[in-house]
Amino acid sequence: MRPLTEQETKILFEKLANYTTDLKPLIAPLSDAADADRYVFRLIKDRVYYVLLSIANLATSVARDNLASVGVCLGKFTKTLKFRLHITALPILAAHARYKIWIKPNGVMPFLYGSHISKAHVGRWTEDCPSNVGVIVYDMSDNPIGFGVSARSTAEARRLDPTGIVVFRQADCGEYLRDEDTLFAG
C-alpha cells in the first residue's frame, strides 16, 4: 500500500471532478482540531482506496500479500494509466454529485441489467446539464443506483425522440451480482 504519485493523483482528480461539485470536501480534515483525521487515497496493486489516514497508518503493519483491501475502493488504474471508477465508489460520488438524473420505475431494471438510459425512462434531470459529463443515476425514491456520462445536454434531450439515449451507463448496482467474481479480485 502506498500513496498515489503526482501523475496518478492528477488522473484520479480529473475523473472525480467530472462527477463532483468540489473535491475539497473529499480530502479536508474531518474537524478543525490540529490532530483531526482526514481521508486519503492509497494504492494497493492497481486499485485506489479512499480511507481514513489513521486506518491507513494502521494498515501499513499488515504484510502486502495479506492485505486485500482497506477503505472504499474507488476504482483501478489500467496498464495504460487510465482510471476506471468502480460501482463501489457510488456512495462517495452520490454524496458530492454535481449532475443527477432520476429514472422512472419502468427504467430501473433495464439500467440495472446494463442498458443505457433512454429519454422515455427519465423522470427528472438536473437543469443545465451539458453533454459528456458525469451524472449520478437515482431511482424516483432518491436511491443512487449507478452513474454514467450524459450523451446529450438537457436542452438537446428535450427535443429527442423517446428511444434516444440520454445517458451512457458506466456502472450500476447490478454489477455486484454480474461481476461478483472479478469486482474485488486482484
Among candidate residues 174, 186, 176, the one with its CA nearest the CA of residue 69: 186
Mean pLDDT within 76-81: 93
The model's pLDDT over 83-104, given as tens digits with 9 standing for 90+, comes to 999 999 999 999 999 999 999 9
User: Which residues 6+ apart lie within 8 Å of 150 measured at CB?
Assistant: 99, 101, 129, 130, 131, 132, 133, 134, 135, 166, 167, 168
pTM: 0.87
Mean pLDDT within 108-119: 92
The dihedral sign for the CA sequence 103, 84, 21, 156:
negative
Domain assignment present for residue 109? The answer is yes
Q: Which H or E run includes 123?
A: strand 122-125
Which of 92, 107, 134 terminates a domain? The answer is: 92
* Res. 33 pLDDT band, cuts 50 70 90: confident
Domain count, the chain: 2
Q: Are 128 and 170 contained in the same domain? A: yes
Residue owning grid cell 438536473: 126
Which of 92, 118, 149 terminates a domain? The answer is: 92
Q: Is the pLDDT of residue 149 over 60?
A: yes
* Res. 60 pLDDT band, cuts 50 70 90: confident
Q: Are 44 and 102 contained in the same domain? A: no
Q: Are 151 and 167 contained in the same domain? A: yes
Q: Are 114 and 152 contained in the same domain? A: yes
| Structural domain of 128 | 98-177
Strand partners, 146: 137, 172
- Residue 51: per-residue pLDDT: 94
Residue 170's domain is classified under what CATH number?
2.30.130.10
Percentage of the residues of the chain whose pLDDT score is greater than 90: 66
Cα–Cα dist 66/88, whole Å:
21
Mean pLDDT within 73-78: 92
Q: Are 11 and 79 contained in the same domain? A: yes
Q: Are 108 and 81 contained in the same domain? A: no
The model's pLDDT over 164-174, given as tens digits with 9 standing for 90+, comes to 999 999 999 88
- Residue 30: per-residue pLDDT: 80
Q: Are 34 and 105 contained in the same domain? A: no
Which of 92, 119, 137 terminates a domain? The answer is: 92
Q: Are 80 and 126 contained in the same domain? A: no
Q: Are 22 and 39 contained in the same domain? A: yes
Domain assignment present for residue 183? The answer is no
- Residue 147: per-residue pLDDT: 95
Mean pLDDT within 108-133: 92
Among candidate residues 124, 83, 99, 89, the one with its CA nearest the CA of residue 20: 99
Mean pLDDT within 134-159: 93
Strand partners, 83: 77
Residue 77's domain is classified under what CATH number?
3.10.450.220
Number of DSSP helices (H) and strands (E) in the chain, helices first: 7, 11
- Residue 174: per-residue pLDDT: 83
- Residue 184: per-residue pLDDT: 62
* 18 against 185, higher pLDDT: 18
Q: Is the pLDDT of residue 72 over 70?
A: yes
